[in-house]
């Protein structure tokens, strides 16, 4: 990393990030307090996570349940699963995670709800929507999103849908990236309008390379990894 104190380094990085967030908010008349940073700690050390805790972060995003299990033995945090979930990992996810951000199939919802009932737990979830045309990306097709939310909302009561998540197309074309985020915001508004008592309030969109555009398009949570640590 660097030779200076790691926590000092992270603090400097975060000041730079908050400045960028503030500038993005100013461009669209938003309040910086409406934006949350979710540090993505994939392959980061327990020491680095501890430094972030000292800087008042208590929720961390991970792509793999194995890392969450390993790190949770030392760091008692709110672990949020942001990676694609295989149904054979659901039991562990229910045990260790407070939230998932990659709910993308009825099969997964059914398995989650089954284990949540066994443990007597509830879990917050964002529905992952595939707003890009890339084959490698996961998520619900935008045109199926409302029906999917409605089915999960009414049939799997231990899953609390709190918002939507997307990963924008991997491109240098800012208008394409912007359209991905705009589509997610419009889907959230449409879902809240058409599904009584739903009240989605989270838009998890924007990562290290595109978070400013995401904020301009309504993101409430940006998932940052390399921008914080490197």
Question: What total of structural domains would you count in the chain?
Answer: 1
Determine the Cα–Cα distance for residues 137 and 123; give it in Å rounded to an integer.
24
Predicted TM-score of the model (pTM): 0.95
> Does some domain include residue 161?
yes
> Does some domain include residue 200?
yes
Res 3: pLDDT: 44
Res 213: pLDDT: 98
Q: How far is CA 140 from CA 8, 65, 193, 204, 207, in A?
A: 40, 22, 19, 15, 19
Res 75: pLDDT: 85
* Segment-wise mean pLDDT, segments of 10 residues, the chain, 230 residues: 72 97 98 98 94 95 96 90 96 97 98 97 98 94 98 97 98 98 98 96 98 98 96
Tell how strand 202-204 and strand 159-165 pair up: parallel
- 172-178 long-range contacts (CB < 8 A, ≥24 apart) are 174/213, 177/210, 177/213, 178/213, 178/216, 178/217
Distance between alpha carbon 173 and the CA centroid of its chain, in Å? 23
Give residue 20's domain range.
6-229
CATH number at residue 119: 3.20.20.10
> Does some domain include residue 1?
no
On the 0-12 / 13-18 / 19+ scale of CB atoms within 10 A, 64 is middle
Residues 6+ apart with CB under 8 A from 11: 55
Res 73: pLDDT: 86
> Does some domain include residue 153?
yes
Res 2: pLDDT: 45
Strands (E) across the chain are located at 36-39, 59-62, 78-81, 99-103, 123-128, 159-165, 202-204, 221-224
> Does some domain include residue 208?
yes
Res 4: pLDDT: 59
> Does some domain include residue 38?
yes
């Amino acid at each position: 990393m660097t030779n200076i104190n790691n926590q000092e380094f992270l603090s400097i990085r975060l000041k730079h990030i908050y400045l960028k967030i503030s500038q993005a908010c100013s461009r669209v008349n938003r309040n910086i307090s409406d934006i949350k940073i979710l540090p993505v700690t994939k392959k980061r050390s327990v020491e680095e996570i501890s430094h972030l805790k000292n800087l008042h972060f208590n929720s961390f995003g991970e792509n793999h349940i194995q890392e969450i299990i390993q790190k949770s033995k030392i760091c008692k945090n709110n672990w949020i699963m942001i990676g694609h979930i295989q149904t054979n990992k659901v039991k562990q996810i229910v045990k260790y995670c407070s939230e998932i951000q990659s709910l993308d199939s009825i099969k997964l919802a059914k398995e989650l709800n089954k284990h949540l009932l066994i443990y007597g737990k509830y879990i917050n979830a964002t529905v992952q929507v595939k707003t890009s045309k890339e084959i490698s990306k996961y998520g619900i097709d935008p045109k199926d999103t409302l029906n999917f939310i409605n089915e999960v909302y009414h049939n799997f009561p231990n899953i609390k849908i709190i918002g939507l998540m997307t990963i924008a197309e991997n491109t240098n074309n800012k208008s394409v990236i912007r359209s991905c985020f705009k589509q997610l915001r419009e889907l959230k508004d449409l879902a809240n309008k058409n599904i009584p008592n739903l009240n989605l309030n989270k838009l998890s969109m924007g990562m290290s390379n595109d978070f400013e555009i995401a904020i301009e398009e309504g993101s409430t949570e940006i998932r940052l990894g390399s921008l914080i640590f490197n």
